[in-house]
Amino acid sequence: MQTPKATATAVFDNLIGGRWSPSPSGRLFENRNPADHDDLIGLFQDSTPEDAERAIAAAARAFADWRLVPAPRRAEILFRAAQLIADRKETFAREMTREMGKVLEETRGDVQEAIDMSFFMAGEGRRMYGQTVPSELRDKFAMSVRQPLGVCGVITPWNFPMAIPSWKIIPALVCGNTVVFKPSSLTPLSAINFVKVLEEAGVPAGVVNLVTGGPDVGTVLATHDAISVISFTGSTAVGRLVNQNAAPGFKKVHLEMGGKNIVMVMDDAQLELAIEGCVWGGFGTTGQRCTAASRVVVHERVYDAFLTEFAARVKSLRVGNGAQDGVQMGPSISESQLSTVMRYVEIGKQEGATVVTGGHRLTTGPYARGWFHEPTIFGDVTPSMRIAREEIFGPVVSVMRCRSLAEAIDIGNSVAYGLSASIYTRDINKAFTAMRDIYTGIFYVNAPTIGAEVHLPFGGTKATGNGHREAGTAALDVFSEWKSIYVDFSGRLQRAQIDTQEL
């Protein structure tokens, strides 16, 4: 990255050890509005591995005291943070729309999810339950407790720039860990807004550290000996690298990666409801969700009726700057992401799929300075096509035919990912069959593949993840480990599994 020339634009620093300061590198990178790349939001630190190492050292020092703060006291700070975010929801949402592009209604939801997660996880400060069990020996007590891991490395993507950091950082803190946080370089302002709230709420110096920058920072987090757990959300390709980098140090690794999610529309479905769900699931956030409904398989008896109305609804979507009233779909996050979308549209055409609606970049008038693409539907798609198997992360939906529920389930399970799936049907037997047989971490009935809530586990199977979950109480398992404790008050040696007691 080149160092931009001096301007009056706001410059944002790193937070290391309780102090906001620039990187000694002197390098900065730009953050621009994807709906209008003439709009420069700010300049952010292009940090070095040395910056990351200083942040890790600060977090390690802070851990010694933070782990001893009683969990209910840690929770009180997080409750204050949740309320501060709630008080500033509209401001944070508008700034997020400016830097990320999704429509204001959706960025309000993103901020609300951070509020919900913070309140929910703060509640775990008084509930971090272990187990007490009867010992097999007399005069002996047996129990288990959670204990913190140490310094947590957190790497987050750009599509949910406040919600996803909250999924990771809040449970890490309530468990007694400290954090070094590297947000996406495409959405650093929302990350800074989130961290400043934690600081204002009373999180002590060094407990949360933020370092902006590129892949070199993330590599340090994945490889440094002082990092105990690394939590990453992003592409499967990068997640694999994170896992490989972390493996030699035996770190706990939490990965949340790609998805190629399916909506199954059966012949008994309420079609209007299914169409509404597929529009929202496929084109909400411009399709830039790991849970986006990028595949739809429709029973052949209702395929034509579904596709006709689905195309009409999608064609009528208003695309534009997400800050403007009435806009329903914003831009791609960057020129690179837009290029990926355009490349896959060409792949779909070459594979023989039919462009039912869309298929083009938008370049004229209000679109001239942004990364806009038409919402696009492909028909006549077969399950073997690349557009039906590979994650596009854009406003492109592939529609396929099926002859039965069994075939729909086979198509759903045929991809490398296993994050989310849904079925539209009025037959409870079909719904429960699909619930059982689709191999994903999330499943919906008569709803699209998006819309997870913070109090249930979030995550997927196969190439989507590595077995861990975010959200709900399952998140505590990522950021803590179990300690079993035995207290023998017999005053003599008792040997488990050997000594027996007389009745």
Mean pLDDT by 10 residues, the chain (503 residues): 60 98 96 97 97 98 98 98 98 98 98 98 96 95 98 98 98 98 98 98 98 96 98 96 95 97 98 98 98 98 98 98 97 98 98 98 97 98 98 98 98 98 98 98 98 96 95 97 97 91 63
On the CB side of 308, CA atoms within 13 Å amount to 4
Question: Whole-angstrom Cα distance, residue 257 to residue 466?
Answer: 9
Q: Output the pLDDT for position 8.
A: 79
Residues 79, 111, 263, CA angle at the centre, nearest 5°? 120
pLDDT for position 1: 46
> Counting runs of H as helices and runs of E as strands, what totals does the chain give?
14, 24
Active site residue 256: yes
Distance, CA of 436 to CA of 443 (rounded, Å): 10
Tell me the domain boundaries of the chain.
13-257+465-483, 262-445
Question: How far apart are the C-alpha atoms of 323 and 471, rounded to whole Å?
Answer: 29
**pLDDT tens digit string along 62-82?**
999 999 999 999 999 999 999
On whether the CB atoms of residues 286 and 444 are closer than 8 A, the answer is no
**CATH fold match for the domains 13-257+465-483 and 262-445:** no
- Rounded to whole angstroms, the Cα distance separating 37 from 31 reads 9
- Residue 388's H or E segment, with its range, is none
Fold type of domain 262-445 = Aldehyde Dehydrogenase; Chain A, domain 2 (3.40.309)
Q: Which is catalytic among the residues 152, 175, 278, 290?
A: 290
Q: In this structure, are residues 359 and 374 in contact, taking their beta carbons and an 8 Å threshold? A: yes
Q: CA distances (Å), 45 to each of 26, 31, 156, 276, 410, in order?
A: 8, 11, 17, 42, 47
**Distance of CA 355 to CAs 80, 315, 362, 379, 399, Å?**
50, 12, 16, 6, 10
Q: How far apart are CA 352 and CA 387, in angstroms?
A: 11
- Give catalytic status of residue 175 as yes or no: no
338-364 core/surface letters (b: 16 or more CB in 10 A; e: else): bebbbebbeebeebebebbbbbeebee
Residues in contact with 319: Cβ distance below 8 Å, sequence separation at least 6, in sequence order = 327, 328, 329, 330, 362, 367, 372, 374, 375
- Compute φ and ψ for 251, nearest 5 degrees: -75, 155
Q: 53: buried, middle or exposed (CB in 10 Å: 19+, 13-18, 0-12)?
A: middle
Distance in Å from the first CA to the final CA of the chain: 76
Global pTM? 0.95
Residues 6+ apart with CB under 8 A from 478: 171, 229, 231, 252, 254, 468, 469, 470
Q: Of the residues 99, 106, 113, 256, which is catalytic? A: 256
CA 414 to each of CA 295, 383, 390, 437: distance values in angstroms, whole numbers, following the listed order: 12, 8, 11, 12
* Amino acid, res. 234: G
114, 67 contact by CB (below 8 A): no
Residues 6+ apart with CB under 8 A from 177: 63, 66, 67, 148, 149, 150, 151, 152, 228, 229, 479, 480
Q: Which residues pair with 1 in a beta bridge?
A: none
Q: In 3-state terms, what secondary structure has residue 266?
A: coil
CATH of domain 13-257+465-483: 3.40.605.10
Q: Residue 3: what pLDDT?
A: 47
Lookup: tokens for 389 = 């198997």
- 96-143 pLDDT, tens digit per residue, is 999 999 999 999 999 999 999 999 999 999 999 999 999 999 999 999
Our measurement of the distance from residue 420's CA atom to the centroid of its chain's CA atoms, rounded to an integer in Å, reads 13
Q: What distance in Å separates the CA atoms of residue 6 and residue 40, rounded to the nearest whole number?
A: 13
Look up residue 172 and give its two tokens.
């890490």
- Where residue 362 falls (left for φ over 0; alpha for ψ -120 to 50; beta otherwise) is beta
For Cα atoms 321, 323, 324, give the angle at the middle one, nearest 5 degrees. Answer: 75
